Every structure is written in C-alpha cells, then in structure tokens.
Chains A and B, each alone.
Chain A
Amino acid sequence: MACEQWQPQLDSYLDNELSVEAMRSLHAHLRTCPACTADALARVQFKRSIKAAVGGRFAPSAEFRAKIQKSIAAKPRWNWNFGWKLATAALALVLFAGAVTSYVGKQSLERQQFYTELADLHVATLGSANPVDVISTDRHTVKPWFQGKIPFSFNLPELQGTDFTLLGGRVAYVGQSSGAHLIYQIRKHEISVFILPAAGSDSVFGADSKVERRQTFNVEDWTQGGLRYVVFGDSSADDIQKLSALLKAAVEQK
C-alpha cells in the first residue's frame, strides 16, 4: 500500500483506534518506510505537546473546591431519609420474620402435642380389655350410639366390598373437647379414626391431605365439613390412604 493511503490512518493508529489487522499491516509498512515513520513520530510528539500544554493548564482554586464539596454534601439529604426508611424496613422485616418463626414454632409444637395425645389414645385403647364402648360392625348402629355424647354428627362409609371392618367406637377427649373415636380393622391391623370438632387453625389442612409419618405411626389428617378427621394406625400408608378416601367420600354423600 502506498504512503498516501497510510497517512489518514496514522492518527487513528496513534489514538489506538485501528483494528488489529490494520495495525499489523501499518506496522509492517512503518518498518520499511522512513518517511511514514518520521511522520508518525512527529504526530506522537504533537500529541504529547498538546497534552503537556493543555492538560491541567487550569486548576480549580481551593475556595471553589470547598464550595462545591459543601454544595454536594448539602444535596443528598434524601440519602438520610432513604437510609432511615431502609433501616425501618429492615427492622420491620426482622420483627415480621421473628413473629412468623415464633408463630410457626408454636403451631408446630401444638401439632406435635396433638399427635402425641392421639398416639396415646390409640395405644391405650388397643391395649384395653374393653377397647370400644359400642361393639358393632354396622355403621347404622355405631353412628346413632354417639347421639347425645358428642356435639356433632357425622357419616360413616359403607365397607362392603373392602378389606376394612368396623370394630366399634368410643368417645374420645382430645384437647379439652369430645369427639368420636372409631376402630377399624384390616388384616389384623387396627386403625383409629378420630372425628373432632375443627378448631379455627385446623382449616389449613383442607380435604387435600396425604399420609404422613408421625410418632412412628402413619397418619392422614384433614378437615372437611367443619370436622377434623385423623386416621391413625400402624398399617401401611396405602391402607391409611384407602380408609381416608372412604371416609372423605362418605362425608361428601351427606
């Protein structure tokens, strides 16, 4: 490439704005062309001269600096406001988180106590010489027996065609209120079904429940039609689930 073609590139080259390829080509040319090399050198010197003569030529006075610093420091009052807001928000968040943790902790403890109580009742009932007060496999006998003994009524499922057998029922006292305690049997396993009046917080369970492991027993727990149902036993999770499904369906029948 002729020198005239490189001339317009020299400034961009010295401003470090040439592409890598163009820079490589120009380097190659400069190695063989003393005229362009001298020109490039002169331009570098000119750039340096400008920087030396112009850069920092005018310096601000100390008074002016102080004035600007003061005006800048006075401006961002909103920063303080923002800081306070942030601190308040953070505090509120901490308090809220604390309240939630404490509430959840309390709930968890209450639930734990509830299941412990049910486990005691279940074990004590099965270990008793007279586990049930009404001995009948007929739901139409068991259900009316509870009339006048508990402050609510409930439906029991038809067990024909299933492996479950109703053994009977008794009144249970849980959490200072009375409810129905029914005993079902499946392949020599006995399952307790507790039907209790639902407390306010029990609504969180809903009817969409699943079997969980509590106090080494399998438990399914839900609230339906204002009553809390707890199916409790040492049989498999599958059995607990099947019996729960039968009970849920019976409630739906009305």
Chain B
Amino acid sequence: MPLFEQLYNFAHWLSKNREEAEDLVQETYAKALRGFSSYQPGTNFRAWMYRILRNTFLTSRTGLKATMTVPLETDDDGPVVVVADSQTPESILLDRSNQQVLQDALQQLPLHYREVLLLCEVEEMSYQEIAETLGIPAGTVMSRLSRARSALRGLVREKLQGVQKG
C-alpha cells in the first residue's frame, strides 16, 4: 500500500488519537479508490493522497474543533520578523531524552502550524507540494513555515526552562 506508514503517522499527529487516525487512513484509501478517476496522471500523487486525508480530517469532529481554535491571524500575509537567536535550544534537542519535549511542543502547536511542519520536516515535501496539499500559495507556505518554526522554538524553550527550574 503506497504511503501507508507515512499517512498513518500524519493522521495521528493531526488527530492526536489512534482510533481517529485509523478511521482517517481508512477513509482516505476508500476515497482515493472511489475517486481515482479524479486523479490526473502526471500530477503529484503524494500531494493528492495527503490532501484527501487532510480534507477528511478537517470535516471530522476533531478537525472542526481544531480549526475553530485557530487564532485569527494575518500571519500568512504579512512580513515575517526573524529574530537572530543566540540561545537556540536545538543542540540540546539532539539528545534522545529530550525528544519528548519536542513531541509535546508540536502537539501544542495550532493545527495550521503543525501540519505545515509535518509536511516539510517529516515528509520532506517541496514548498510546491505543500502548497498543493494544503491548497495555499507557495509564498504562504514559506511564511507559515517560518512562523511555525519560531512558535515551536518558543514552546521548546519554555518547556526546557520549566524543566530546569523544576
């Protein structure tokens, strides 16, 4: 089965729940088989599959709840303020014992940041593929990714400082 493990991992990160992830993957394959005629050969098959899964998630109860909690931001349009960060926690994260911190931080990220990071860092999709999957312009992918990374760094830093204080 093409993309089975990857789709399942993505579904689990979106829904944060094993049963829901299974339902999502099952529904994705069913929809892909039913609508295979709508797939245009030559276009990106992977982006097509991920788009089906994501759209299925967005119309699920958990997905609707997640999209409702997304803050009303203009982040995708405005300029990205990048701060030179000399105190980045990245080197600490290489330690395996700290992977849990990173996982928790990702779980806390809003859906629109979480999904764009997953597609870029885990699936290693190009900006164009991500744009196709999410149905947004490639420029928006770039700015959203930048904000998602900043947000994730901020969360990780908070958590690590909390651990140190505790």
Contact = CB atoms under 8 A, between A and B. Distances in A.
Interface string B112-147: 000001101110001100000000000000100110
Interface residues of A, number: 38
Contacts of A58: 8-9, 12-13, 18, 21
A15 B5 CA distance: 23
The listed residue with most A CB atoms (<10 A of its CB), out of B18, B90, B118, is B90
B142 A17 contact: yes
Given A58-B8, A69-B1, A75 B118 contact: no
Interface in A2-21: 3-4, 7-8, 11-12, 15-17
Contacts of A15: 120, 126-127, 145
Given A12-B142, A59-B8, A71 B30 contact: yes
Nearest to B102: A53
A59 B91 CA distance: 27
A46 B93 contact: yes
B72 interface: no
Nearest to A64: B22
B103 interface: yes
Interface in A183-231: none
Interface stretch (A35-43, A97-105, A145-153): A35-43
B126 A17 contact: yes
B102 A54 contact: yes
A46 B12 contact: no
Contacts of A129: none
Nearest to A58: B12
B141 to A, nearest CB: 9
Contacts of A64: 8, 22, 25
Contact of B13 (A35, A49, A54, A72): A54
A45 B152 CA distance: 14
A12 B84 CA distance: 16
A157 B138 CA distance: 83
Contacts of B1: 65, 68-69, 72
B85 interface: yes
Contacts of A65: 1, 4
Given A51-B122, A68-B26, A57 B103 contact: yes
Contacts of B85: 39, 42
- Which 10 pairs, one residue from A and one from B, show the smallest C-beta to C-beta distance? A58-B12, A49-B93, A46-B90, A53-B99, A60-B8, A45-B90, A53-B102, A50-B121, A55-B122, A42-B88
28 contacts: A7-B82, A7-B84, A8-B146, A11-B145, A15-B145, A17-B142, A39-B88, A42-B88, A42-B91, A45-B93, A49-B94, A50-B106, A50-B117, A51-B121, A52-B99, A53-B99, A54-B13, A54-B118, A55-B9, A58-B9, A58-B12, A60-B5, A60-B8, A60-B25, A65-B1, A68-B29, A72-B1, A72-B29
Given A45-B94, A50-B117, A60-B22, 9 more contacts: A8-B82, A15-B127, A39-B85, A46-B149, A53-B103, A57-B12, A59-B9, A68-B29, A72-B29
